[in-house]
Structure 1
């Protein structure tokens, strides 16, 4: 029996919406008019949405994987981001309902991203790639110690967002047999 394609966990802020660096440095791909056409008048006021490059959506859709939102945007990613990228609604990685909202990070080791244990649990030993701008050594160590399947943790420069080099690394990794 053939394994399902690897999961692809996608962060929004940083990889898909670049930020940081000098003011006015970030390119804008979408006009307020286009954003209104796709999402309605309420969304046109979010200046970050203009930084979404629709070409990234086509690249993601063409990958041999199963994309999942892994972002603080949570379900808003399907409402605001996916339509502008030309992506369908994607599953959303959510914090467990029983998480302590007052101290959600207390139980995590220092430097470990809150998403890391959730990704590992959600992937359940299956192959996954994670695109995020906040991946660090603690996350790599956690995945190596707690995940039995193949994993690619690809840190994206938040000032630039996903690049062709990032897609090349991801596509090469996805070509491996899982």
Structure 2
């Protein structure tokens, strides 16, 4: 297994992948919400936490929730505190139609292989990352109505396992 600094990064968005926007007829497990809590927190699936922890990569929050994801989301999923990507103000209006997160994630990855799990990934982002990121990357779009599914987890695990094997072959 590669050293932690060589492991692929798994950039996680919250709204859409972990907090689905509904419309799928999915039932959500009961959640203990305190007054003032975000009303959609009840849509978090605690089963996603162990599935995320089982992925062979370093989990990193890539969400506008910022550090708040460690305070509110992580405990509900059974996750430890995770590193958080901070977003520079200069990425609000990126050129070329790419997502405003794209360049920041490539900078944060600094050449390491990464997966980006988000509901707003487009082919423009994929093309830009392929042209500007020297390492392998999977930009995985999640259906925001359903959130992360078993098929998504299987796709992520398969890509990460292959990245682990490629990395081990270069060690």
**TM-score range normalised by the length of the shorter chain:** 0.7 to 0.9
- The residue that corresponds to 1:11 in the other structure is 13
After TM superposition, the runs of 4+ consecutive aligned structure 1 residues lying more than 3 A away are: none
Unaligned stretches of 5+ residues in structure 1: 36-40
Q: Of the candidates 45, 70, 81, which is equivalent to residue 73 of structure 2?
A: 81
Whether 2:142 is the aligned partner of 1:150: answer no
TM-score, normalisation: structure 2: 0.87
Q: Of the candidates 53, 71, 79, which is equivalent to residue 61 of structure 1?
A: 53
TM-score, normalisation: structure 1: 0.84
Could you tell me how far apart the structure 1 residues matched to 2:22 and 2:46 are? 20
| Alignment RMSD | 1.8
Could you tell me how far apart the structure 2 residues matched to 1:117 and 1:146 are? 9
Question: Are 1:5 and 1:64, in contact at CA under 8 Å, matched by a contact in 2?
Answer: yes
- The residue that corresponds to 1:72 in the other structure is 64
After superposition, the C-alpha distances for 1:116-156 in whole angstroms (9 at most, x for unaligned) are 00110000111000100000011001100100101011100
Unaligned stretches of 5+ residues in structure 2: none
- The residue that corresponds to 2:104 in the other structure is 118
CA shift for structure 1 position 42: 4.2
Question: Are 2:23 and 2:146, in contact at CA under 8 Å, matched by a contact in 1?
Answer: no
Could you tell me how far apart the structure 2 residues matched to 1:49 and 1:105 are? 26
CA shift for structure 1 position 2: 4.0
Q: Of the candidates 92, 96, 103, which is equivalent to residue 105 of structure 1?
A: 92
CA shift for structure 1 position 86: 0.3
Distance 1:164 1:111, change over 3 A: same
Aligned residues: 162
CA shift for structure 1 position 46: 2.2
